[in-house]
Structure 1
Amino acid sequence: MSLLLRWVFAFMLLALTYNPTQWNYVRWTMDNYVEEQPLAVLLGLLLVIWYIIYLRATLRSIGGFGMFLVLAVVAALVWVLYDWGMLNLENPDLNTWIAILALSIVLGIGLSWSIVRRMLSGQVDMDNVDN
C-alpha cells in the first residue's frame, strides 16, 4: 500500500503543477498572477519544496542512471502499446498525461526503492548517522 501511496503523491505533484486541463498551478498562475501574486508565490514555493523532497530522495535511492532506466522501461512499454495499436499518440492531451504518468512512476519508484529493495533482498538501507 505504501508503494501505491508514494506513486499517487508523485502523480498528484506533477498533475497539480501542470496537466492538459485548466486545473493546474501553471494555468492558474498565468490567469491570476496579478490579482493573487502572494498566493501564487506561496503555492509555487510549496511545489518547489515538494519537488526537492521527491527529487532528492529519488536521486539518493536510484540515482540519475536508475531514473533513466525506469523512464526507458516506461517509454518501451508505451512503444509496445503503440506498436500493438492499443495506444494512439496523436492526441496531445493524452501525450501529456502519459508523460505525467511516466515521470510519476520514476518518482514513485525512487521514493519506494528502499522498500522494494528490502522486500527483494532482505537488506535494509540506512543513512550514515554521526554520533
Structure 2
Amino acid sequence: MQKFTWSGFGLRFLFALVLVLATYNPTGYSYAHWFGNLFPSITAAVALCGIVLTIGWVVYVRATLRSLGPIGLGLTGALFGCLIWLFIDLGWLSLENISVITWLILIVLAAILALGMSWSHVRRRLSGQVDTDDLDDN
C-alpha cells in the first residue's frame, strides 16, 4: 500500500488542474474553444484530443465518486462553495469580476478531483480502514 504524501497530493492536483484547464479556461486556449471554432468540420487531431481528455475525466470522476461517494462529494462541494461565499462576504472576491470567479471555480473543481483521487489514502491513514481494492497490494 502506498502512503499518503503531500507531494503525491500535489501531483494529483497538478494533473487534475491540467485536465480541467485543458478542457476549458477563459483565455480562449482550451479544447472547448478549439472544438467550437472548428465545428462541424472536426479533424482527427481534435477527435484524438477529445478522446484523451474524456479518458482523463472518466478516470478522475470515477475515482472521485468511488472514494468520496455522493454524500462526500456533496459535502466537499458545499465546503468549497461556502469558502467562496465567505470570501465574497469578506470583500476578498467580487461577483462583478467574472474572470476571477471562473478561474476560482476551475481551481476548486481540480481540487475536488485531486481530493477524490487521494481520499482513500487519507481515510486509511486517519481511520485505519482499508478499501477492498487495496487488499490486492498485499
- Name the TM-score, length of structure 1 as normaliser: 0.89
Aligned residue among 9, 18, 23 for 1:12: 18
Give the drift of 1:125.
2.2
Greater shift after overlay, 98-107 or 15-24?
98-107
Q: SS at the partner of 1:62?
A: helix
Match of 2:79 among 69, 73, 82: 73
Q: Which residue of 2 aligns with 1:103?
A: 109
Tell me, in whole angstroms, the C-alpha distance in 1 between the residues paired with 2:47 and 2:79: 36
Question: Which consecutive residues of structure 2, in runs of 5 or more, have no partner in the other structure?
Answer: 1-6
| Residue of structure 2 in register with 1:23 after alignment | 29
Q: Which position in structure 2 is the counterpart of 1:87?
A: 93
Runs of 4+ in 1 over 3 A off after TM superposition: 32-36
Superposed, 1:28-67 pairs within 5 Å as 28-33=34-39, 37-67=43-73
- Give the aligned partner of residue 122 of structure 1: 128
In structure 2, what is the Cα distance between the partners aligned to 1:34 and 1:40?
11
CA drift at 1:91:
1.3
Task: Give 2:3's aligned residue.
Answer: none
Distance 1:88 1:29 in 2: 31
Q: RMSD of aligned C-alpha atoms?
A: 1.8
Compute the TM-score of the two structures, normalised by the length of structure 2.
0.85
- Give the whole-Å Cα distance in 1 for the aligned partners of 2:86 and 2:131: 34
Question: Given that residues 17 and 47 in structure 1 are in contact (C-alpha distance below 8 angstroms), is that contact kept between their aligned partners in structure 2?
Answer: yes
